[in-house]
Amino acid sequence: MGENALQRKPRRNQGMSIARLAEHLGLSEGTVSRALNGYPDVAGKTRERVIDAARTLGYSPSSAARRLARGVVETVGFVLPQRAGHFSDPFLAEMLDGVAMELADSDWDLIVAAVPDGHDEPEVIDRLARTGKVGGFILTRTRRKDARVDHLRELGLPFVVHGRTEDCADYAWLDIDNEKAFVDAVRYLVELGHRRIAHIGGDMSFNFAHFRHLGYRRAMEDAELPVPAGFVAEGIADGVAADEAMTAMLSLPAPPTAVVCVTDAVALGAMRAISGAGLRPGVDVSVIGYDGLPFGLAAHPPLTTMSQSSHRAGREVARMLLALIHGAEPANSQVLWEATLTKRASASPPPPH
């Protein structure tokens, strides 16, 4: 009760300390500290008196002092995925911003750790866990079989995954229905009149890339459309590789009139290749991405995309982790969201024959 009451105070009086509060009340500093932190050995009337005075005088305990007093670890660990380019990955940047904001609202901190050369992610997780400074972990960019998840299961620490693995029944996760997202993307292109639709996909060991590919295949089968040789590229992680993959597709005897891309960054690479071939993105070849990141709106033409809010997802996984730490059951903390189609000028009916 005491701590929650204090948290309603919007602004801390930086000049007020436990010592001054104790002097004001005529109590020992230890009694005041224990009252503020809800220890049961402080009489109820004394606790209320301390809380009322603290509220009136504008005192609230610092997070560091509260942690020392209660022995609570109020820090979350986030180990960056072990792959090139994560520091410039706009998806991760947006997600981390959401995580940090949600944790800050609850006065928790975030530790972001990279994987040194010669090490792997479970090693870094283990090192952070052994320090005793981390109360839980958030994972993202999950593989279908993910050693990080297995290791956190063994450690017994609370964790939440943005994404899923093949075996996801016993831990907390938030994921987007990636298969449905790419079914929706392809169906939109079919509705526009496209019949030659290609797919530039990611590393199929990642769960999101696997399901986006499944969605593309399912929608093409539903529409009874063929997938000619050369119409699918896998393992594409950035715009440079996407440029090369799209260039190869455009050199086919009957090239695609549309392409669905595993991410927005990949879609922008495909658009560069289309322009480089003397064609017009969104006119001669339609392009759809995935993520809904702000830079897509500034593309030329603006990028049609399957949108998800990575910032909102970051806030939600942080909220879920705090709930786990406070006793929520992991199997009851599993959430599947849907991406939404954001229609812009990069997707339009195919050019007339």
- Please give the residue that has the higher pLDDT: either 325 or 67: 325
Domain end position, chosen among 53, 70, 87: 70
pTM beyond 0.75 = yes
Domain identity same for 230 and 276: yes
Quickly list H helices, the chain.
2-7, 18-25, 29-36, 44-57, 63-70, 90-105, 121-131, 147-155, 178-192, 207-222, 239-250, 264-276, 310-325
DSSP-assigned states of every residue in 246-291: HHHHHTSSS--SEEEESSHHHHHHHHHHHHHTT--BTTTBEEEEEE
Estimate to the nearest angstrom the gap between the alpha carbon of 331 and the chain centroid.
19
Domain identity same for 58 and 92: no
Question: Angle, to 10 degrees, between the axis of helix 29-36 and the axis of helix 44-57?
Answer: 90
Within a domain: 182: yes
Res 181: pLDDT: 98
Res 52: pLDDT: 85
Give yes or no for a contact between 266 and 91, defined as CB atoms under 8 angstroms apart: no
CA of 288: how far to CAs of 64, 244, 274, 302, in Å? 47, 17, 13, 10
DSSP 8-state class, residue 332: G
pLDDT in tens, 131-184: 888 999 999 999 999 999 999 999 899 999 999 999 999 999 999 999 999 999
For the domain that residue 108 is a member of, what is the CATH number? 3.40.50.2300
CA of 132: how far to CAs of 55, 68, 78, 202, in Å? 32, 13, 15, 36
Tokens 């449905």 -> residue: 180
Nearest to 183 by CA among 214, 215, 212: 215
Q: Residue 101 half-sphere exposure, CB side, CA atoms within 13 Å?
A: 13
Domain identity same for 154 and 272: no
| Domain extent at residue 206 | 178-308
DSSP-assigned states of every residue in 20-53: HHHHHHT--HHHHHHHHTT-TTS-HHHHHHHHHH
User: How many domains does the chain fold into?
Assistant: 3
Within a domain: 343: no
Nearest to 288 by CA among 339, 247, 234, 353: 339
Res 64: pLDDT: 45
The secondary element (H helix, E strand) that includes residue 341 is strand 340-342
**Percentage of the chain with pLDDT > 70?**
88
Q: How far apart are CA 260 and CA 189, in angstroms?
A: 9
Estimate to the nearest angstrom the gap between the alpha carbon of 124 and the chain centroid.
19
Residue 2 pLDDT exceeds 70 = no
pLDDT in tens, 18-65: 778 888 898 887 787 777 766 666 788 888 888 888 888 877 655 544
For the domain that residue 59 is a member of, what is the CATH number? 1.10.260.40
Domain identity same for 185 and 303: yes
The average pLDDT across 221-226 equals: 98
Q: How far apart are CA 131 and CA 1, in angstroms?
A: 30
pLDDT in tens, 244-303: 999 999 999 999 999 999 999 999 999 999 999 999 999 999 999 999 988 999 999 999
